[in-house]
Amino acid sequence: MERKNLLIIGGGGREHAIIWKLAKSPHVGKIYCAPGNAGIAELAECVNITATDISAILEFLKNHPDIYMTVVGPDDPLSLGLVDKLEAEGFRVFGPTKAASQLEASKVFSKNLMQKYDIPTANYETFSDYSMAIEFVKGQKTYPLVIKADGLALGKGVLICENFEEAEQGLKQIMLDKAFGEAGQNVVIEEFLKGFEVSVLAFCDGKTILPMASARDYKRAHDNDIGLNTGGMGTYSPNDKYLPKHEEFAYDHILKKTVDALNSEGIKFKGVIFFGFMINGDNVKVLEYNARFGDPETQSVLPRLENDLMEVFEAVIDERLNEIDLRFKEEKCVTVVLASGGYPEKYEKHIPITLPDKLPEGVTIFHAGTAMINNQLVTNGGRVINISALGKTIEDARKKAYKIAKKVKFKNKHLRTDIAKL
Ligand code: AMP
Ligand code: GLY
């Protein structure tokens, strides 16, 4: 069997998990990663190119004719049209085009799509004019009210407002002070949904959509869901609250309908669609879409995937996902994020890290923000290390993950102690 060389774009825990899984495939040869991190460097050759530097990525591919395929991890290069540009030059890529990635990059686009095609989501209005938005809010009697900046804002562009004053303040921040830059040109104001959240990642080749095992993400910085929103402080898979009845409903009324809706708009989505659901009783509604693997959901989902990931990526690109039968291990997986104190706000970088010498069976350390400086492993981001553990039960996996979390040491280490505590 010919082994094929790959380029992965990104450098977080998600990309480390994708590379870790790809490296197990007999179809995969050498892996390059731009920019990667210290953990990824053990499996791949890291190249010093940022994920959004499209011209440098193109140049690198032109100079490396041995690379068979590129896989894009993060959202920002997708919304900048990296996939379109590489495909236009004849390169093989896993990831959605710029038009398809609007599902994540524009909340106005995704809300309008859901409304037009009757996909269940929170009721909403969109505004591009500050005074009209204020007038609308004055007429609202039910709080909390949710205000969202239209564009990508590192997960910070969503405000849950408890009263009129907070809503006014939020609109001012987003639309007038441009706290999230151009992302705040337009806003979505929507109804607050109660319930519990579920993350479902699904492979899509533009025709077939195949959901992966569900996951739960913990977005707030501190225990008991207190503190600021982060990119995610931990996950587990499967999500015990996502029952077969929810799964069936979501497949028919949300997953399938989303692909059909995009096709009706002339958009073929090839890659991973991430559905953020709110579940309440029997109801499943879409909170958000992302156009990529979730981080840190991927770190809990891929360790459970039994299929060869390279084979799945190939099937997506060649539009024969209908031939794939996704299979997941019965074992559960828990991922605990170790962050740098201060995250998601200010935090120090380049703090030395020590890792345990040996890991028990079923436990993997994925690096998120790490670097190697003068032969010393150091922190290089807000989320630093992810520990993923497989176990017979969630509790078993949880215990294994926290045991190793204790053994990873760096100054100002911050973690939630209640990940997967059911
Ligand atoms: P989004 O980027 O749209 O997923 O929003 C980020 C987070 O804000 C979600 O994961 C939810 O925790 C929360 N959120 C967003 N929209 C709503 C809503 N309509 N009702 C309740 N919570 C929401
Ligand atoms: N964990 C949420 C995200 O990847 O956006």
pLDDT along the chain (422 residues), means of 10: 95 98 98 98 98 98 98 97 98 98 95 98 95 94 93 82 95 90 88 97 98 97 94 96 98 98 98 98 97 98 98 98 98 98 96 97 98 97 98 98 98 98 92
Q: Establish whether residue 174 lines the binding site of ligand 1, counting it when its CB lies within 6 angstroms of any ligand atom.
A: no
Which one of 274, 383, 416 would you pick to mutate in the ligand 2 pocket, going by the greatest count of ligand atoms within 8 A of its CB? 274
Q: Which residues contact 130 (CB under 8 A, 6 or more apart)?
A: 171, 172, 175, 176
Strand positions, DSSP E, 128-267: 145-149, 158-161, 187-191, 196-205, 209-211, 216-217, 220-222, 226-229, 234-237
Strands 209-211 and 45-46, by their bridges, are unpaired
Cα(177) to ligand 2 centroid in Å equals 26
Residue 354 vs residues 57, 74, 159, 372: alpha-carbon distances, Å: 32, 27, 37, 12
Which residue from 205, 312, 311 is spatially nearest to 263, judged by alpha carbons?
A: 205
Ligand index nearest the alpha carbon of residue 74:
2
The position carrying tokens 């997960």 is 155
Query: If 0-12 CB within 10 Å is exposed, 13-18 middle and 19+ buried, where does residue 132 land?
Result: exposed
Q: Which numbered atom of ligand 2 lies nearest the CA of 14?
A: 4
Strands 45-46 and 28-35, by their bridges, are parallel
Structure confidence at residue 247 (pLDDT): 98
Cα(64) to ligand 2 centroid in Å equals 31
Structure confidence at residue 185 (pLDDT): 85
Ligand index nearest the alpha carbon of residue 103:
1
Residue nearest ligand 2's atom 3 by CA: 294
Ligand index nearest the alpha carbon of residue 291:
2
Ligand index nearest the alpha carbon of residue 335:
2
> Which H/E stretch holds residue 33?
strand 28-35
Cα(103) to ligand 2 centroid in Å equals 14
Cα(287) to ligand 1 centroid in Å equals 6
CA contacts within 13 A on the Cβ side of 404: 28
Full-model pTM:
0.97
Residue 105 vs residues 128, 220, 292, 299, 397: alpha-carbon distances, Å: 16, 22, 11, 23, 34
Which one of 108, 143, 218, 288 would you pick to mutate in the ligand 1 pocket, going by the greatest count of ligand atoms within 8 A of its CB? 288
Cα(122) to ligand 2 centroid in Å equals 19
Structure confidence at residue 181 (pLDDT): 84
What is the amino acid identity at position 406? Answer: K
Structure confidence at residue 422 (pLDDT): 87
Query: How far is 124 from 417, CA to CA, in rounded Å?
Result: 35
Structure confidence at residue 182 (pLDDT): 82
Tally of helices (H runs) and strands (E runs) in the chain: 13, 23
Q: Which residues does ligand 2 sit against, CB inside 6 Å? A: 155, 217, 231-232, 290, 294-295, 297
Token duo for residue 11: 């450098």
Q: Which residues contact 39 (CB under 8 A, 6 or more apart)?
A: 16, 365, 366, 367, 370
Could you count the other beta carbons within 10 Å of the beta carbon of residue 282? 9
